[in-house]
């Protein structure tokens, strides 16, 4: 299943790396693409929304929307 997450707080490529690394650690995630330009992440896999939100929060950012 593919999910798109709108992320608040990303300002640079270092932010992108932090978010990508945090999401890739989650069980059930098979791939992650993070876009600084769109302020979003595209996640493939079976991770729960709450787990995605928590991983992003622990990295220091906010998941504004998951669709």
* Domain that includes residue 62, residue range: 2-66
**Span 3-16, average pLDDT:** 97
Q: What is the pTM of this model?
A: 0.94
- Judged on CB neighbours under 10 Å (0-12, 13-18, 19+), 55 is buried
Give the integer Cα–Cα distance in Å for 17 and 41. 11
Q: Find the CATH number of the domain harbouring 30.
A: 3.30.70.100
pLDDT confidence tier of residue 56, bands split at 50, 70 and 90 = very high
Q: Based on the structure, what is the number of domains in the chain?
A: 1
Chain CA centroid to CA 35, Å? 10
pLDDT confidence tier of residue 60, bands split at 50, 70 and 90 = very high
């Amino acid at each position: 299943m593919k999910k798109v997450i709108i992320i608040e707080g990303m300002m640079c490529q270092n932010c992108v790396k932090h978010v990508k690394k945090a999401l890739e650690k989650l069980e059930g995630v098979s791939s992650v693409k993070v876009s600084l330009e769109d302020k979003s992440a595209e996640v493939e896999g079976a991770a729960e929304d709450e787990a995605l939100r928590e991983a992003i929060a622990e990295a220091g950012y906010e998941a504004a929307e998951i669709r």
